[in-house]
């Protein structure tokens, strides 16, 4: 059986020590596309969008710091605690979505306190562009030939020639496609419900859909952590379970509180 051989250079171009990587372009570009979506939502709701650039900076810092620390401390703690300076070398790869989400929430909390914004409103509006960014980032992982899937004989399996010659699940594309569908779902819900209900319901839907998908997609991934547990779950799956539970609780609260005081 013939499989697609993926051997694309992760660098778009190299000029001396300067490199422009597909991952970096997709990562940064996704945030600016998200900014355009956020501007549309602000105008749609008659909100002042003058602070959107500042919000974007907070989100980007929170996402990168949270995702990097999440990967280093949850997936490869032995290595990074022994080599702490490696934590700062983000360009080498290694970002965890679980930590990235937490980092964004913390960043939005700091922003909300400093600029007197509703944290709930900010979180709910961030869910939509965040899912588009997540899809772009997984495509970046695909260009980097990282976050590899398990060996597979499926006709759509891909050989990542920069790693080995084994056909594998293109789990990066599985995730990218899933996140894009969640983006469309959240966007459609946002357009169909009231602003108050969107504030309540969107974060819960994101938590359930994203981390349920993450839980099951882990079955097609190679293990990323450098340690083992006695449980029949990967670290990614164990980290996903609390988020799914939080999402269920969030939606129950959103449905029960519908019609109460707005944010």
Kindly write down the DSSP assignment for every residue of 205-225, as one continuous string. Answer: HHHHHHHHHHHHHGGGBPP--
* Contact between residue 139 and residue 26 where contact means Cβ atoms under 8 Å apart: yes
> Sheet holding 158-160: strands in order across?
4-6, 158-160, 167-168
* Contact between residue 152 and residue 146 where contact means Cβ atoms under 8 Å apart: no
**Can you tell me the distance from the alpha carbon of 140 to that of 52, in angstroms, rounded to the nearest whole number?**
25
> Is 177 a residue whose pLDDT tops 80?
yes
Q: Give the per-residue pLDDT at 263.
A: 58
**Can you tell me the distance from the alpha carbon of 134 to that of 131, in angstroms, rounded to the nearest whole number?**
5
Q: Give the per-residue pLDDT at 53.
A: 87
Residue 14 has φ and ψ, to the nearest 5°, of -130, 130
Distances in Å between the alpha carbon of 230 and those of 149, 155, 181, 217, 233? Answer: 22, 33, 34, 20, 9
pLDDT 10s digits, 179-230 = 999 999 999 999 999 999 999 999 999 999 999 999 999 999 987 655 455 6
Q: Give the per-residue pLDDT at 215.
A: 94
Residue written as tokens 């660098």? 11
What band does 2 get if pLDDT is binned at 50, 70 and 90?
confident
CB burial of residue 222 (10 Å; 0-12, 13-18, 19+): middle
Report which DSSP code applies to 145: T
Task: Name the token pair of 120.
Answer: 């709930």
The dihedral through the CA atoms of 95, 99, 101, 107 has a sign that is: negative
What residues contact 221, with CB distance under 8 A and at least 6 apart? 147, 148, 149, 150, 169, 171, 234, 236
**Can you tell me the distance from the alpha carbon of 160 to that of 146, in angstroms, rounded to the nearest whole number?**
9
What band does 259 get if pLDDT is binned at 50, 70 and 90?
low
pLDDT 10s digits, 64-88 = 888 888 878 877 777 888 878 878 7
């Amino acid at each position: 059986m013939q499989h697609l051989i993926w051997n694309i250079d992760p660098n778009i171009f190299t000029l001396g020590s300067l490199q422009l990587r597909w991952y970096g372009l997709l990562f940064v570009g996704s945030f600016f596309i998200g900014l355009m979506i956020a501007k549309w939502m602000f105008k749609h709701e008659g909100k002042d969008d003058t602070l959107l650039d500042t919000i974007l900076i907070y989100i980007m810092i929170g996402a990168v710091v949270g995702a990097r620390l999440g990967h280093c401390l949850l997936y490869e703690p032995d290595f990074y605690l022994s080599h702490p300076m490696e934590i700062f070398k983000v360009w080498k790869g290694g970002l965890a979505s679980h930590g990235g989400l937490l980092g964004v929430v913390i960043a939005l909390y700091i922003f909300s306190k400093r600029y007197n914004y509703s944290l709930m409103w900010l979180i709910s509006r961030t869910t939509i562009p965040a899912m588009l960014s997540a899809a772009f980032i997984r495509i970046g992982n695909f260009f980097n030939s990282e976050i590899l899937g398990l060996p597979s004989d499926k006709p759509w399996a891909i050989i990542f020639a920069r790693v080995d010659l084994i056909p594998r699940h293109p789990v990066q594309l599985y995730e990218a496609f899933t996140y894009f569908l969640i983006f469309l779902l959240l966007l459609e819900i946002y357009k169909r419900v009231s602003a108050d209900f969107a504030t309540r319901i969107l974060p819960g839907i994101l938590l359930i859909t994203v981390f349920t998908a993450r839980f099951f997609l882990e079955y097609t991934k190679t293990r990323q952590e450098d340690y083992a547990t006695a449980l029949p779950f990967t670290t990614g799956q164990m980290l996903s379970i609390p988020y799914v539970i939080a999402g269920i609780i969030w939606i129950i609260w959103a449905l029960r509180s519908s019609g109460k005081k707005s944010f």
